[in-house]
């Protein structure tokens, strides 16, 4: 028994040592610059932008690039996010206006709307905007609750939709407006481990990938997103539609151009057999028709890109795009904007700036 116990302890110590060494490697693999965000209060809420304060003081003749952490590009540091590359490409091509990084880590479509409305209310209305979606933007979050009255007045939402949203918002109130009304103790523990223990994040991501491969759906998180994006009559999809329509209308009322909507693809599996490839094609068609906007899935940026690889995450445990992926995506967004959307706005800006 003594030998068995000793062998067990040795085996456990070996496993722990391996995990500690692997954790140390992952910490090194995820090293990133320390950036000081610019804090702005918009609509009674504070937002953190990884953009210079002077760039945010006046957005006339500027295109706001709005999105979440994929847009913010904080892991790549100053000048290497996709909005930064977009701004550089615009200057290299002689465009007189600039692109400003308004990505907010953890944001969602209703927060994008809050940012736009807040900028307009504080006299910072941009001339144009690029709204960047990612797969987790389909998840129902507590941000939608601040627009509950507007949703109630929208005929697209059925009484069942309203009842479900009201119940969700009641849960948000009980959890002190956490990101999700389902943010209970288990999910809080998971979120803490995911943010602070890289080995846990690695195993969690491996489980999620396996779940998506076999079509498992645990009801929230990445396994649930594909079905929600496909259900265009579902509450989650209609809320994304609602928030984008609000962003479009707010910009139009401020005299800005219609926003261009782009979808940043899953950079872990950049192939046509990725479940999102065909799903986003359907999203393109639906949102383009219902909103009258140019909506583009970003998969062609990488499938046709000479420098793109089949997988371009930032690190082994960080699903955000690598700095090279940001550069590739920026070039594609610039071409899409110039061809489909923003060029007329730029011509208008040139006229306005001419002596």
Closest CA to 139 of 64, 71, 59, 237: 237
Supply the pLDDT for residue 286: 97
Supply the pLDDT for residue 291: 96
Q: How many Cα atoms occupy the beta-carbon half-sphere of 97 within 13 Å?
A: 29
What tokens were used for 108? 């969602």
0.85 cut: is pTM over it? yes
Supply the pLDDT for residue 355: 30
Supply the pLDDT for residue 193: 78
Supply the pLDDT for residue 46: 92
Supply the pLDDT for residue 342: 52
Q: Give the span between the Cα atoms of 260 and 156, in whole angstroms.
A: 23
pLDDT tens digits for range 182-218: 556 777 777 777 778 888 877 877 777 776 666 666 6
pLDDT tens digits for range 304-347: 877 888 889 988 888 889 999 999 999 999 988 877 555 444 44
Using 50 as the pLDDT threshold, list the residues of the chain that sit under it. 343-355
Three-state secondary-structure class, residue 48: strand
Supply the pLDDT for residue 349: 41
Instruction: Give domain 36-139+220-353's CATH superfamily.
Output: SGNH hydrolase (3.40.50.1110)
Q: Point out which residues pair with 130 in neighbouring strands.
A: 65, 260
Q: Tell me the H-state helices in 76-128.
A: 82-92, 109-121
């Amino acid at each position: 028994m003594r030998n068995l116990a000793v062998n067990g302890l040795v085996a456990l110590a070996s496993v722990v040592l391996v995990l500690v060494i692997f954790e140390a490697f992952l910490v090194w693999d995820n090293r990133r610059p320390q950036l000081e965000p610019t804090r702005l209060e918009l609509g009674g809420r504070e937002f953190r932008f990884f953009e210079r304060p002077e760039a945010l003081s006046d957005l006339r003749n500027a295109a706001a690039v709005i999105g979440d952490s994929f847009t913010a590009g904080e892991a790549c540091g100053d000048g290497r996010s996709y909005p930064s590359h977009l701004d550089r490409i615009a200057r290299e091509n002689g465009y007189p206006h600039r692109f400003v990084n308004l990505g907010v880590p953890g944001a969602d479509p209703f927060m994008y709307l809050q940012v736009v409305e807040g900028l307009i209310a504080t006299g910072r209305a941009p001339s144009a905007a690029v709204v960047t979606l990612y797969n987790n933007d389909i998840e129902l979050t507590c941000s939608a609750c601040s627009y509950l009255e507007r949703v109630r007045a929208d005929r697209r939402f059925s009484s069942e939709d309203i009842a479900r949203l009201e119940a969700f918002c009641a849960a948000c109130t009980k959890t002190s407006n956490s990101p999700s009304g389902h943010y209970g103790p288990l999910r809080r523990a998971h979120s803490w481990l995911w943010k602070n223990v890289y080995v846990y994040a690695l195993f969690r991501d491996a489980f999620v990938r396996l779940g998506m491969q076999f079509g498992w759906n645990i009801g929230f998180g990445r396994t649930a997103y594909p079905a929600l994006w496909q259900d265009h009559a579902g509450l989650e999809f209609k809320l994304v539609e609602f928030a984008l329509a609000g962003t479009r209308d707010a910009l139009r009322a401020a005299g800005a151009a219609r926003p261009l909507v782009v979808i940043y693809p899953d950079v872990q599996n950049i192939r046509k057999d990725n479940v999102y490839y065909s799903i986003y094609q359907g999203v393109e068609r639906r949102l383009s028709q219902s909103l009258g906007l140019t909506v583009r899935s970003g998969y062609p940026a990488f499938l046709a890109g000479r420098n793109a690889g089949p997988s371009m995450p930032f690190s082994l445990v960080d699903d955000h795009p690598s700095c090279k992926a940001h550069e590739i995506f920026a070039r594609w967004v610039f071409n899409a904007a110039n061809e489909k959307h923003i060029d007329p706005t730029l011509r208008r800006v040139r006229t306005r700036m001419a002596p």
